[in-house]
Chain A
C-alpha cells in the first residue's frame, strides 16, 4: 500500500503539499484501521462491515462520475456490481492459481467484464436523457440480475474431479474469502485516486461541460456520445471491481443482493454526499452503511428510523444552517 502511493507521487514529479498531506492521511487511516482490527478493538459486527463500507465507497464514487459529473441519472449500478461479483467469483472458484494472484486477476477480470457490459449497454442507452435514461438503466440492472438467475455457473470441482454446475438462482457457494481490510483499503484508495485524477483531467472537464450544456459542448467540437460512453464504462468498471471484492467477503452470494434496492442505495449515497463531490460520496457511503447496523437494536422500527434520519440529513444538507456552520468554520 505504502509503496503504491510513493511510486505515484514520484511519477507525479510535483510533490506538492496537498499530495503529501493526502499520502500521510492515507497511511495514518490505514494504521488506525489495522490497530483497531488486529487488537480486536472493533467488535465482530463492525469488523464485518469494513468490506461492505469499502465496496459502497467504490460504488458511490464511481456512480458520482456518471450522476454528479456527467449529469446523467443511472439506476442500474448494482447490475454492473453483480456482473463483477459473479464473474470474479466464478473465476476464483474454477482456477487453481495461488491465492493472491488469483484474487488480483479476479478483480481485473470482474472489472473488465463489467466495463464491457457498460459499453454494450451504454452505446444504445446513452442516447436517452434524464428520466428516460433512469428508467432504462433501472430496467437493464434488473435484466442483468434475471440473466444471472437463469445461467448455470461452473463452480469448481467436486471431490471426484467432476465440474459442479450451479443454478444462478441458488447463488454461488464456497467462495474463497480473500477480502480483508488491507485489500479493501488498497482497492478503495486506488479507486478514489483514479477517479479524482480523472475528474481533474480533460476527461473531467468534458464530463462537466456535458452536464452543464451538451449543445454547447457539441458546438466546440466535443463528441458528446463518445465521452458519455467512456464515463459510463469507467463507472461500470469500478462497480465491477467493487462487486468482486464484495463477493469474496462472504462464502455465499445470491443474485438477490444486487437488485434495484441496491442501485437506489448507491444513488442515495451520491445524492446525500452531494452531486459532484467525491469527499461527500465517501462520507455518505460510510455513514449510511454503518447507520443501519447501529439501528439494529431498534428491531422492527429500524427502517422507519433510518428513513426519518435520511430525510433529516437531506433537509440539513440543503439548509441555510449548514451553510452558516461551514462559513463559521472558514
Chain B
C-alpha cells in the first residue's frame, strides 16, 4: 500500500478550478517532487493534503486512512508534517522552544503538574530539551538554541522550520519551496540536507520546487502540475523530455 494516495483530487474556489483530477501516490521512503509554473496550484495541493482547504471532490489517504474532513492538527497526528512557502516560525520564541512546541504531543503533562512544578515537570522538560537539541544538531542550529527565532538569518530560519516539522515525527514531510530565496550554494547545501534527513529519519518527502534542474537532481519521481492539472509524471529524466512540460516552462 502506498503511504500517500491521492485520487481524483479537485477543488474549486467559486468559479475558479484550482486543482482538477489530480492523481498520484507516494511510496514509503520516496523523495517525490511536485513542480509547476507559478500559480499552477502546488501550494493549494499542500493545503488540501493538510486540511487547510477541503477538497470539492476526490480522496486523500495516508496508509489507507482517509484524512479528508480531519482538522489540520489531527492530520499532523496521523503523520503529516509540513513547512510553508512564506516561513511561519514562532518568531518571538527561542529556537529551542520552537522545537519543544512541536514535541508537545509526545511529551504531555497536566496543567496541575505545570502549576505545582512537580519533579515530573522537571524530568519531562529536561528530556524535551535533550530531544530538541538532537533535532537542532542535525541542522547545525544547536549553538543558536537560545536566541529568538526572529534573530536567525534567512537560511537557518528555513532549516528551523524543517526541524520543527520533523520533531512531530511525521511519516510524510511536505516541503513547500524550501529553497525559495536562497542562493545557488545554499540551495545545493539544503538539497543535501534534505537527502540526509530522508535517510536519517527514514521518512518520505514530498517537495514543491520551482527549479526543475534541482528537483530532477534529488527526486526519484516528479509530478508536473499546470493550471491545476497533471501535465506529466514519472521519473525526472523522462518527464523533462516531455514536450508538454518543456512548452509549459519555456514556451513554444
Contacts and interface: CB of A to CB of B under 8 A. Distances in A.
B18 interface: no
Interface in A1-33: 8, 11-14
Given A197-B114, A206-B101, A14 B92 contact: no
Given A11-B117, A202-B108, A220 B122 contact: no
B73 A222 contact: yes
Contacts of B121: 201
A212 B81 contact: no
A215 B85 CA distance: 13
Interface in B30-78: 50, 52, 71-74, 76-77
Given A216-B84, A221-B105, A201 B71 contact: no
**Which of B73, B84, B167 has the most C-beta atoms of chain A within 10 angstroms of its own C-beta?**
B73
A273 to B, nearest CB: 17
Given A202-B109, A221-B73, A230-B111, A216 B117 contact: no
B93 A208 contact: yes
Contacts of A222: 73, 101, 104-105
Interface in B114-170: 114-119, 121-122, 164-165, 167-168
A293 to B, nearest CB: 34
- Interface residues of chain B: helix, strand, loop or mixed (majority): helix
Interface band, chain A:
20 to 34
B88 A216 contact: yes
A257 interface: no
Contacts of A217: 73, 90, 101
B81 A219 contact: yes
B111 A12 contact: no
A119 to B, nearest CB: 14
A35 to B, nearest CB: 31
A223 B116 contact: no
Contacts of B90: 208-209, 212-213, 216-217
B72 A209 contact: no
Contacts of B92: 208, 211-212, 276
A223 B77 CA distance: 11
A131 interface: no
Interface of A: 8, 11-14, 194, 197-198, 200-203, 205-206, 208-209, 211-213, 215-224, 230, 234, 276
| Closest 7 pairs between A and B when the two form their complex, measured CB to CB | A201-B114, A221-B76, A216-B88, A212-B90, A218-B72, A220-B102, A209-B101
Given A201-B109, A212-B92, 5 more contacts: A213-B89, A215-B84, A216-B89, A220-B164, A220-B168
Interface of B: 50, 52, 71-74, 76-77, 81-82, 84, 88-93, 97-98, 100-102, 104-105, 107-109, 111, 113-119, 121-122, 164-165, 167-168
14 contacts: A13-B122, A197-B116, A201-B113, A201-B114, A202-B100, A202-B107, A208-B93, A213-B88, A217-B101, A218-B72, A220-B167, A220-B168, A223-B71, A224-B73
